[in-house]
Structure formats: C-alpha cells, structure tokens
Amino acid sequence: MKKFIIMSCLVLWQFTQLYAQQVKGGVFEMVGGESSPLIGANVVQLNTLNGTTTDKEGHFNLKLEKKAPKKLVVSYVSYQSDTINLNDTGFGHVHVTLKNLKNLDEVEVVSRKASSHLSRTETRGITSINEGELQKAACCNLSESFETSASVDVSYADAVTGAKQIQLLGLAGLYTQMLTENMPNLRGLAMPYRLGYVPGSWMESIQVSKGTSSVINGYEAMAGQINIEYKKPDEGEKMLLNLYGNQMGKVEGNLNTRFELNERWSTMVLAHAEYNGTKHDDNDDTFLDDPLVQQVNFFNRWKYKGENLRLQFGFKYLTENRQGGQMNFDPGKNHDTENGYGIGVETDRYEGFLKMGYILKNKDHSSIGFQNQVVYHDVNSFYGLNVYDADQFSYYGNLMLQSYINDTRHQYTTGISFSLDNYTQQLNDTIWMRDEQVTGAFFQYTYSNFKNLNIITGLRLDYNNLYGWLFTPRLHAKYNINEHNVLRLSFGRGYRTANVIAENTSVLATSKNIRFLEDLDIESSWNFGLTYAAYIDIGAKELVLTADYFYTNFNNQVILDREEDPFIVYIYNLDGQSYSNSIQLEAQYEPIDRFELKLAFRYNDVKTTIGDELKEKPFVSKYIGLLSASYQTNLKKWQFDMNLQLNGDQRLPYTGFNPEIYRSPDRSPVYAILNAQVTKYFKRWDIYIGGENLTNYKQNNPVIQADQPFGEYFDSSMVWGPVSGIKVYAGIRFTINK
C-alpha cells in the first residue's frame, strides 16, 4: 500500500476513465521544485511502433493497440527514460516526470545506495536501515541493528540480565511503538528482552521514524515508531545459512529457506538458535558479565498473490532460557541465600498473524486491508528471592479501506480496529490481572499536489474499557522548498498503558520493594517535530545534511521514584512537568567512491518531575556523537565497517542515603565505544570477523553491594555503560540465490 502512495506521488495523477483504450497525459521535468512541460518527448507503446510526441504544453494523446502490453515508454534526449504501466496508473491522465541526466557521456551513473538513508519521498521522516546496513553488525539481533543509526540509542537495562533497551529522543524504548510488518508487536511482557527476539538475519529492513506517527497503527507511538520487515517468501535469496561465534563462547545459527510453490503461493521458514553456555566474570564482582542464554526461534510464513487478493499468514514460536547472577549459583538447588544470588527467566512466546489485502476491481488505487494478530507470552522468572510469573494474551485486528476522493491528489485511509490485552502477573504474593479492550476508528487524509507539498492528517477515536474515550489527532507535512531542500513537520498525540513490573524488571534485581501510591492513569503526551534536510551536490556525489528538533510533553506519565527512600521504589502518576527536547544534526557523504562517511551529533534535554522537583531524567546521555565509516572495494569483494559512538554524561539516581561505599557518583563519565567489522565476499558465501567495544571500556562496579547480594543496599540496576569488555566474533554466511 505504501508503494501505491509513493508511486502516485512520483508519477501520476488521474481522472475518471474517459476512453478505455485511449490514454492522455503529460510529460514534465522538475525545475527548482516546479513541474515544467517537456515539449517533443516521445511516448511509445511498449513493443510497438505506435507512438506520439508531446505538444507545447507537454501533453499527449495516444490510442493504444489492443494486443500489445498496456505500457508506455516515455523518452526524451538527455533525460532518463521511464516505462509506465497503465494497469497501475489507469488510462485517464498520466503524469510523467522525467529525470534530467546531467552528463550525457555517462550512460548511467551506478551509485551504491547508502545503506541507511532518510527517505526523500515519504511525507513522514522515515530513516530506513536496509540489509546492507544490517550486515555491518553481523551479530545477532535487533539490539545490534542500530549501531550505525544516530537516532536510536541502545543500552543495558541492568548489570545482570543482559537485557538491552533502546531510547529514542532520550525517552525510554517503551514510548517507541514497535511494529512487525506494520502490526504493533513486542509489547507488554515482551518489553524487557524484546530486542533479543528478532534475529538479525531474519530482517529485510527496519524503518525508524521519530516523533508522532500515523493513526493507522493505533495511539501508542509517543516518541517514535520502529517497523521491522522480515524477509519475504517470494523475494531474495533462496537459502541463507548463517553461523556465528564469539570469543566468550556464544554461538548462533540461522537458517532461512523459501519456496515458490507456484506463481501465486510461496512459503518461507526462518529458524534461529543461540547458545551461550560459558560463564565469565572479568571484573571479579562474583556476578556473570553476560547471562547464559539458550534460545530457539522459529517462524513459518505463507504468501498468496492473486489477481486482486493478497494473503499472508504465519506462525512464530520462541523459547528462551536466561540465567544470570553469581558465578557459584546453581539453578538446580534451592533459590535461597545459601545458594547465592541467581536470576532465571524462562520465556515462551507464540505469535500468529493473518493479513489480507484486496484491490478493488472497479476503482483504481482502492483497496481493503485486514490485519489480524494473536500473541501468547508466558514468562516464569526469579530475581534473587523475588519470583515473578506472568502471562499475556493479546489480539490485534485492523480493518481498513484505502481510496481517493475525486483524484489521487486526495487519498484517504479509514478503518476500525480492535485490540485486547489480557494480563495475569504475580510478583511474590501479589497478583494483578488486567483485561484491556480498545475499540477504535480512524480516518487519515493524504493530500499531495504532486509538486512540492504533501500533507497527512489523521484522527482516531478509541474507547478503552479501563480509561474511557481517547482522542488522537496527528499531522505530518512535507514541503520541498526546492529540489535540494526539504522541510518536514509533525505534530500529534499518543497514549500508552504502562505495565510497571514487566517494563522495570531491572528493579526486581535490587533489594528495593515496589510500592504503588495510587491507581495509575494511562500515559499521554504531545509531540512536535521539525526536520530539515539539504541535499547538496559536491562533485559527482551528494552531501546529505539533516537537522531535526523534537519536543515531547507528557500530560501524564508513570513515575518510578527511587530517590526518596533507599529501600522502596514508589510508583505514581506524574504531578508536574515532564518533557524531552532533542536536537540532532547529521551529515552523510561519500568522499571517495564506495567510501561512506556519517557524522552525527545529538543533544538531549529530558526532565521529569520526580518527588516535587523537576529533575534530569536518569540514565539519559546529555549528548551522543556518532562517526561511522564504511568502505567497499571494487566488485564488492571486501567490506570494511567501523563506528565510534560517544556517550555524554548521564545523571544517575540519587544514592546519597546509602552508606558511602554503596553510593554511585552523581553523574556517569563520558565514554566512547568502538565497533568494527571486516567482511569478505565470495561467490556463494561471505565470512566476517568483527569486534564490539574494541576500546574495552567497562563500567567499574556495576553492581552495588555485590559482596552481599541479599543485603539491604544491593542494586544491579545502576548501569550506564558496558558491563562486558571487548567481544571478538566471526561468522559465515552461505547463500543460494537461484
């Protein structure tokens, strides 16, 4: 469906069909953001001699030959030719824009598409991370996929579980809505370990958008949205085998295979297994640096491509066993103070989905889509003497109609959705049950003048059985000042129901008790964003500069207050201000052929009222710097990647009430992380070797009171930097394309 929008934005607008076998249209070029007619351009029906030329207004009128393909080849001297499929555009009025080839001698400038790039055509500012980029960090799962992205920060949640979290705009990852193939996913109980649930080699691409997002996927995206596209059963390599190992003893295997059963049906099996069975304690604090993890992850998907009907369904199963804590802890024995401090998390997760798309026969550019997803997630865990067991059943259904009003300048998507979340959680002796049902309707209108302005406005109204009516307005606009300068604006609201325990399992790995002071309201916020992108030609290459500013203001937020009392974490609703300001500058350039450079800097100002005081949000770096360099040799036989990330200082939660030896500093130091990888490509296979955290930077004493893990000041959640040091890994990818 996205393709539809892009296609129509780029090349066409159309009116009602006048004559079935007659096609009318115009051929234009873009001059300084304005559309200007091309006089005398050739328009020829494909595989025929049937053709015409455009008049002085750039218009043409052509009778089609019945037997030949319904396609037009549009060409003009020193412009790039284009082939238009009339079955896609309709026959009414075809608007074609040809690109000027700057230099006639160069037959075609083959340029490698930068593997992470800000889309130029999307109204929303979407940065896409494609497979080339994903392979730069060959290990292992979603958490490593953002290494070269300046917008997404990844950090450890605590020192013992190995759980990683993302941040967008300096806001915790839970404010970023995760989608898998445009359906909300990895929510609720999946939150703490979700980055480990998506194996790297399963992903085709990731789209990251900051700020408010579309109303189509619900009201949850508050700070941004991350969509993961898995590999498709009818595209790409026939088989991929990836084996990985690192010096810490972790091994991983991935196997992807796909089959095209016939022209319409295709299926794919994606399988992943990982095993880390070696205990390490390099900082001698008696705690494992990395937890022991066993995971099996399996996904089978099917696709049907009919004339008008598209169907996709699939089933996914994940089982994971995670064990951390002290080196001498034996999970087989009683979990008591004698045995030492241990952590165990057993997870089983089942997902099923069914998506249908139907292209309406009588109306072009119109389609009906129906998305369905079912998730069951079960977790049994212990953190020291805390026992936490929970399960979640969720359903998501979204029925939508996409069409246009009068002509494709005015498109809309409208629909209804229903979602259900059923949680049962038990922490020690306390049980929480929650049955949340949300029924909603939305309308999104997209305007494009096909020159320089695109606007998406959306409204949705939901009824939540726990929190009542929720109204979500959202707006995106994109204005091309000229060919080289693009301005984007976004504004909108978001809501989210907090799952306090599941989202803060790191608090379970402390001596602190959790105390709820009141019933929690739904979290809600407004977000405003402004992005400016400049595309500057320097020599044959283009320098891309982007600057963005995002402001998020919370009307309500669930506050986790650990700064009042050494032994209790208070949970309550925000009473006062809470906001985030985030400014980011980024430059991307290819100074030498096949050598890409990216430099980015971001400043975060994130403050929340904790207690009665407006404080800097803990564990948020004041600033982030990123330098990423990538070089590919001619013929793509070797690839070298390097990235350096600078992390500014973070405020750490107040620990002044602890005895002096159990305090942490007020602020973390500034530190840098260096990752590098070399890949050698062969005809059917690739090998890679790389290192993470090559400067071997580690946080000293990540666990407070590690010598007495059942003592009253024990805290493993004060983590601001890497817990484990340098990691060297190597792997092999074997591909069959035919």
Partner 1 sequence: MKIIKIIPVILLSLAALQMNAQDNKVKIDTVSIQTSAKCNDCKERLEHDMAFEKGVKAVELDSETKILTIVYKNNKTTEEKLKIAITKIGYDADEMPADQKAHDRLPACCQKDAEPH
The residue ranges that bind partner 1 (CB under 8 A) are: 46, 69, 81, 83, 107-108, 110, 247, 260, 263, 633-638, 640, 676, 678, 682-683, 689, 691, 694, 696, 726, 728, 737-738
Q: Give the shortest CB-192-to-partner 1 separation in angstroms.
A: 31
- Give CA–CA dist 60/45, Å, rounded: 12
Asked if 6 and 121 count as a contact pair (C-beta separation under 8 A), the reply is yes
> C-alpha dihedral over 162, 165, 170, 171, to 10 degrees?
-130
Residue with smaller CB distance to partner 1, 443 or 631: 631
Q: Give the shortest CB-172-to-partner 1 separation in angstroms.
A: 33
The HSE-up count of residue 116 (CA atoms within 13 Å, CB side) is 28
> C-alpha dihedral over 175, 351, 734, 246, to 10 degrees?
60
The alpha carbons of the chain give a radius of gyration, in whole angstroms, of 27
With a CB cutoff of 8 Å and minimum separation 6, the contacts of 197 are 141, 142, 186, 190, 297, 318, 320, 349
Residue with smaller CB distance to partner 1, 260 or 389: 260
Q: Give the shortest CB-695-to-partner 1 separation in angstroms.
A: 8
- Give CA–CA dist 220/202, Å, rounded: 25
Q: Give the shortest CB-545-to-partner 1 separation in angstroms.
A: 29
Q: Give the shortest CB-78-to-partner 1 separation in angstroms.
A: 13
Token pair listed for 81: 């030719």
Q: Give the shortest CB-115-to-partner 1 separation in angstroms.
A: 15
Residue with smaller CB distance to partner 1, 262 or 362: 262
Q: Give the shortest CB-728-to-partner 1 separation in angstroms.
A: 6
| Helical (H) or strand (E) element with 673 | strand 671-681
Residue with smaller CB distance to partner 1, 74 or 166: 74
Token pair listed for 166: 């993302």
Q: Give the shortest CB-47-to-partner 1 separation in angstroms.
A: 8
Q: How many other C-beta atoms can be found within 10 angstroms of the C-beta atom of residue 725? A: 17
With a CB cutoff of 8 Å and minimum separation 6, the contacts of 487 are 478, 479, 480, 481, 530, 531, 532, 533
Q: How many other C-beta atoms can be found within 10 angstroms of the C-beta atom of residue 168? A: 27
Residue with smaller CB distance to partner 1, 46 or 420: 46
The β-bridge relationship of strands 513-516 and 568-573 is parallel
Residue with smaller CB distance to partner 1, 7 or 694: 694
Residue with smaller CB distance to partner 1, 133 or 158: 133
Q: Give the shortest CB-75-to-partner 1 separation in angstroms.
A: 10
How many helices (H) and strands (E) in the chain?
A: 5, 44
Residue with smaller CB distance to partner 1, 26 or 233: 233
Asked if 209 and 126 count as a contact pair (C-beta separation under 8 A), the reply is yes
Strands (DSSP E) along 76-120, which ranges? 79-80, 82-85, 93-100, 116-118
- Give CA–CA dist 62/200, Å, rounded: 49
Residue with smaller CB distance to partner 1, 105 or 429: 105
Residue with smaller CB distance to partner 1, 196 or 691: 691
* Torsion 463-180-315-187 (CA) sign: negative
Residue with smaller CB distance to partner 1, 56 or 738: 738
Q: Give the shortest CB-129-to-partner 1 separation in angstroms.
A: 20
Closest to 371 measured CA to CA, from 270, 227, 262, 524: 227
With a CB cutoff of 8 Å and minimum separation 6, the contacts of 96 are 11, 12, 25, 26, 27, 28, 72, 74, 82, 84
- Give CA–CA dist 56/36, Å, rounded: 11
Residue with smaller CB distance to partner 1, 104 or 110: 110
- Give CA–CA dist 654/610, Å, rounded: 11
Asked if 310 and 679 count as a contact pair (C-beta separation under 8 A), the reply is no
- Give CA–CA dist 356/520, Å, rounded: 37
- Give CA–CA dist 417/398, Å, rounded: 4
Residue with smaller CB distance to partner 1, 506 or 675: 675
Residue with smaller CB distance to partner 1, 78 or 577: 78
Q: Give the shortest CB-76-to-partner 1 separation in angstroms.
A: 14
Q: Give the shortest CB-635-to-partner 1 separation in angstroms.
A: 4
Q: Give the shortest CB-278-to-partner 1 separation in angstroms.
A: 17
Residue with smaller CB distance to partner 1, 102 or 410: 102
Q: Give the shortest CB-686-to-partner 1 separation in angstroms.
A: 11
- Give CA–CA dist 604/622, Å, rounded: 5
Residue with smaller CB distance to partner 1, 56 or 683: 683
φ, ψ of residue 565 in degrees (nearest 5): -145, 135
Q: Give the shortest CB-334-to-partner 1 separation in angstroms.
A: 40
Measured between alpha carbons, how far is residue 91 from residues 42, 71, 365 in Å? 17, 10, 13
| Helical (H) or strand (E) element with 730 | strand 727-736
Q: Give the shortest CB-318-to-partner 1 separation in angstroms.
A: 31
Coil, strand or helix at 505: helix
Residue with smaller CB distance to partner 1, 266 or 664: 266
Residue with smaller CB distance to partner 1, 263 or 519: 263
- Indicate the burial class of 11 (C-beta count within 10 angstroms; 0-12, 13-18, 19 or more): buried
Q: Give the shortest CB-164-to-partner 1 separation in angstroms.
A: 23
Closest to 1 measured CA to CA, from 334, 329, 356, 350: 356
φ, ψ of residue 8 in degrees (nearest 5): -70, -35
Q: Give the shortest CB-357-to-partner 1 separation in angstroms.
A: 21
